[in-house]
Amino acid sequence: MAESVPEYSKVDKTIESYSCEKSALIAILHEIENSYGYLPAWALKHVSEKLNVPMIQVYGVASFYDAFHLTPRGKHLIRVCLGTACYLRGSARVLEALESELGIRDGETTPNLEFSLQSVRCLGACALAPVMVVGEHHFDKMTPTKVHSVLKRVHGKNE
């Protein structure tokens, strides 16, 4: 997947807004993530150079925190809970149905950047298990047979 043309001035403004402080690395990366939806490799390299922080350290921070993504994410983030209550009530089968329907695996994004799929350990709604969240919309008591209709609804199509 090709990366967009680097927008160094946009990244420079973010870095300068933190007075080029090395201690602001996480905040700077967070703002870049918000701007692009992920952390492009060229932006990480640029931050490394501008802050005079080794690239391995910038990459280490970017790859350590779940809030950061090193590849583009889809328009709709689908999270499936695999916590104990959800798992015991069939969330693994829901995840498998999503993988089959979308043609991607857990942690991947569809080629058209429409959907990203991510398993999580808990969504805090155990009584409604199994739970799936698409963007800000919660779907409780999910089953593999509900997956298709939920995706159609999210995609804005009528059944």
Domains of the chain with bracketed CATH: 8-64 (no CATH), 76-154 (3.40.30.10)
**0.85 cut: is pTM over it?**
no
Mean pLDDT of 105-111: 93
Reported as type and span, the H/E element at residue 118 is strand 115-120
pLDDT digits over 45-88, tens only?
Answer: 999 999 999 999 999 999 988 778 898 888 899 999 999 999 99
Strand order in the sheet with 137-139: 115-120, 76-81, 132-134, 137-139
Note the pLDDT of residue 5: 54
* Pairwise CA distance, residues 31 & 6, whole Å: 15
pLDDT for the residue 39: 95
Cα angle 56, 60, 65; round to 5: 160
